[in-house]
Amino acid sequence: MIFFTDENIPKNIAYMLSYFERKHQVRAHLDFFPRGIPDTEWMSTVALWDETTVVVCADGRILKNKVERKVLKECNLMFVCLSPGWTHLEWTIYGWKIIKAWPDIVKNVEQAPYPMAFEVAVGSLKIQSRGLIRDL
């Protein structure tokens, strides 16, 4: 499985996760795409990768934007969204929080029978299911 972090998650956070994640790959957006590429373009590309890809994102607008949500459904990608507030954290707080939440993120994704959307709360670090991707 590949966990792909969007450009709203700092590249160094993705690198940090890749050092702790032993079972799956973690790939940072900026290692594959230029800054500012439309979400619809990178989603279509990562959906073609050989392994199951999970988008880990700090941009919940993807689920609210009709066009981007449609592409997400068509691509059949798993989706983990960090709730609002993550991007405003100091990097040292962001770092330990994402590391603490990571095992639960991976567990939820691995146990999902179909592509689903999840949201990670910034305060409690609880992972909440947003439902099946096809039903969004």
Judge residue 44's burial from the number of C-beta atoms within 10 Å of its C-beta, 0-12 exposed, 13-18 middle, 19 or more buried. Answer: middle
Q: State residue 50's pLDDT score.
A: 87
- Chunked into runs of 10 residues, the chain (136 residues) has average pLDDT values of 96 95 96 96 96 94 94 95 94 95 98 96 97 93
Q: Find the domain containing 79 and state its range.
A: 2-135
Q: State residue 7's pLDDT score.
A: 95
List strand residue ranges (DSSP E) for the chain, in order.
Answer: 2-5, 25-28, 53-57, 78-82, 116-120, 127-132
Decide the pairing of beta strands 53-57 and 116-120.
unpaired
Domain count, the chain: 1
Q: State residue 136's pLDDT score.
A: 87
User: Which 8-state DSSP code applies to residue 130?
Assistant: E
